[in-house]
Chains A and B, each alone.
Chain A
Amino acid sequence: MKLATRLAALSAAVVLVAACSNGASGVPTQAGASAPATQAAPTAEASLVTIAPPTDLITEGTLTDCVDIEYPPMEFFPPDVTDPNQAIGFDVDAARAVADRLGLDLEIRNTAFDALIPDLQAGRCDIVWSALYVSETRLEVADAVPYMATGQVVMVPIGNPPGITQESDLCGRTISIQGGGLVQERAEAASAACEAAGSQPIDIQAYETVAEELQQIIGGRVEAVWETDTAVLNFQFSHPNEYEVAYALPRDDNYGVYYEKGSTDVGDALTAAIAALKDDGTLATIAQQYGMDPAILEVVE
């Protein structure tokens, strides 16, 4: 049975190594031990009111935040970093500020986009702060606190070869979107409107991630991309002078922080913390850090 023993030892060794390699598996690391941004509340600021933290948390003293860390400038990794607790971006920095204000540690779980709301429902997250739109379908299963106004744009190659200036110009065109969200609902509605008006439907190609969706226009496989303004802004930043915005939809969608449906404990604390951070300018500072206009924070109540 020498072989079996060897195999057992090898498996044990590999599992041990895997368990020791931090952060790559979405495993919650020791609460408080490796979250560099959540030091104790700012020193000697007597005017800083700490809001009472919610009591109904998964891990006492820790705010567990599920994020899909693949969406610059809202949440992303700096180069050569893989530990979710060291991610950066507006959503992540704002969550840290909220946790500080509530006197909690922040634990970030890197979660696949499609698993964000299901994991919230399964009780793996206290909050989901990952640039998710506040939409009817999501509100049926969770509650949300809006924090930022956003809208979508349709992006085309520079010079606007397909000549798109409004939604009806998309009829008969091929576009790419990120699947499974608000954009998909709207794009399909637009396509239905095309057909009702007697035109060709829109050829909608849905992709799992924003990067894949944007790659299609680089390769010329699609004529336009329908995506959130923040993602497009970021993309244009890394591809200067190659793309332009054909038209923008009205900016009347909101990003929201989701929490478990009916959990007023968490909801109230969250609302209070975000409002406080907006009032004292923290959120505006963070927004400007990532090249965003603080005016979009006006949705915070």
Chain B
Amino acid sequence: MSFDVDVFITALFSRALREGVVLTIALTVVSFGVGLAIGLVIALMRGSRYAALRAAGWTYIWLFRALPTLILLFLVWYGLPQLVPALRGPGFEPFLAAAIALSVNEGAYAAEIIRGGLLSIDDGQRVAARALGMQPASVFRRIVFPQVVRVITPALSNDFITLLKLTSLAYALSLRELLTMAQIQVSSSFRFAEWYGAAAIYYLVLVSVFMLIQAWFERRYVWASQRRGSRFGVLRGFGGAAR
């Protein structure tokens, strides 16, 4: 079967894919946002003075990195209503279940990324800031966190893009996101290349837009001056701090 351009164009602007992509974006943004918040909390727990908090943080990361995302989705969709009777009614929708599972999953990975970022800040800075009389909360908010943001942005962007594509696993929960919508159309038209090609274009556009956002974000959060095109070879233009 040859590629039918008319079908491809129809697919590209079809209602099915437009509705699907809205769900994909919504699920990604919600899961990433909540996951990031969870990750920040867990990362701070891991650096805590109290052994109990450190252990709890470690356990969370261990558990939710070990569980495959698909199994986690099933556990939330089928298992959670059994544990929490309030979730048994029709109000517990696939979107909510998928958002919970993906957020919790993302939280574990974000925690490790943030922890890496926190480790990259020399402890001397904290000591110096405290010596200047700053409160611990201020130290974090004004000294540590701004630098951490710069360090973790590339890794977190990676995670966001991965999550964007991971949302297609919610197919198993009957969530009609982008890839599933394409699949449904294929099942009645048998035109694989055109529909999946159109879905691929959507993903390409989404990731491209996100990368633009990421670039803008990184430019905004440069704290130290940069020397572009430095004579230090491979570090040229990578935004390394001027040394």
- Which A residues contact B (CB, under 8 angstroms)? 7-8, 10-11, 14-15, 17-18, 21, 23-28, 58-59, 64, 69-72, 76-77, 80-82, 109-112, 114-115, 118-119, 122-124, 209-211, 214-215, 218, 235, 238-239
In contact, A15 and B14 (Cβ under 8 angstroms): no
Chain B residues, CB < 8 A from A14: 22, 25-26, 29-30
Q: Which of B52-60, B88-96, B130-138, B197-205 contacts A (4 or more CB under 8 A)?
A: B88-96
B174 in contact with A214 (CB, 8 Å) = no
List residues of B (186-222) whose CB comes within 8 Å of A's CBs.
186-188, 190, 192
The yes or no answer to B151 lying at the interface (CB within 8 A) is: no
List B contacts of A239 (CB < 8 A): 190
Q: Name which residue of chain B comes closest to A121, CB basis.
A: B78
Spot the interface stretch: B121-129, B176-184, B223-231. B176-184
Task: State which residues 1-41 of B face A: CB under 8 Å.
Answer: 1, 14-16, 19-20, 22-23, 25-27, 29-30, 33
- A88, chain B: closest CB distance, angstroms: 11
Determine which of B88, B187, B190, B192 lies in contact with A71 in the assembled complex, contact meaning CB atoms within 8 Å.
Answer: B187
Q: Is the CB of B186 within 8 A of A211?
A: yes
Bin chain B's interface residue count.
35 or more
Give A11 Cβ to nearest chain B Cβ, in Å.
Answer: 5
Q: A76 — which chain B residues lie within 8 A by C-beta?
A: 187-188
Partner of B29, one of A11, A64, A69, A209: A11
* Chain B contacts for A21, CB-based, 8 A: 19, 22-23
Q: How far is the CA of A218 from the CA of B186 in the complex (A)?
A: 14
Task: Return chain B residues, CB-CB under 8 Å to A110.
Answer: 174, 176
Give Cα A112 to B192, complex, Å. Answer: 19
CA distance in complex: A211, B19 (Å): 22
The residue that B94 contacts in the complex, of A11, A15, A17, A25, with Cβ under 8 A, is A25
Are the CB atoms of A211 and B187 closer together than 8 Å?
Answer: yes
B116 within 8 A of A: no
What are 8 sample pairs from A and B whose C-beta atoms fall under 8 A apart?
A18-B25, A24-B22, A24-B181, A26-B175, A72-B188, A82-B176, A119-B174, A122-B78
Chain B, Cβ-Cβ closest to A107: B90
Given A18-B27, A80-B15, A215-B192, output 5 extra A-B contacts at Cβ < 8 Å.
Answer: A18-B23, A25-B23, A211-B190, A211-B192, A235-B190
Q: Which residues of A contact B93 (CB under 8 A)?
A: 25-28
**Interface readout for B41-84 with A: 1 if CB under 8 Å, 0 if not?**
00000000000000000000000000000000000001001000
Q: Which of A109, A112, A118 has the most CB of B within 10 A?
A: A112
Complex partner residue of A17 from B1, B15, B26, B187, CB under 8 angstroms: B26
Name the residue of chain B whose CB is nearest to the CB of A80.
B15
Do residues B90 and A25 form an inter-chain contact, with CB atoms below 8 A?
A: no
Q: Which residue of A lies closest to B183 (CB)?
A: A209
Tell yes or no: B241 within 8 A of A by CB.
no
Cβ B26 vs Cβ A18 within 8 A: yes
**For residue A118, which residue of chain B has the nearest CB?**
B78
Q: Is B119 an interface residue (CB 8 A)?
A: no
Q: Report whether A27 and B188 are in contact in the complex, using a CB–CB cutoff of 8 Å.
A: no
* Complex CA distance for A23 and B33, rounded to whole angstroms: 25
A122 touches B81 (CB 8 A): yes
For B190, give its contact among A17, A114, A124, A215 (CB under 8 Å): A215
Q: Determine if B173 is an interface residue (Cβ-Cβ < 8 Å).
A: yes
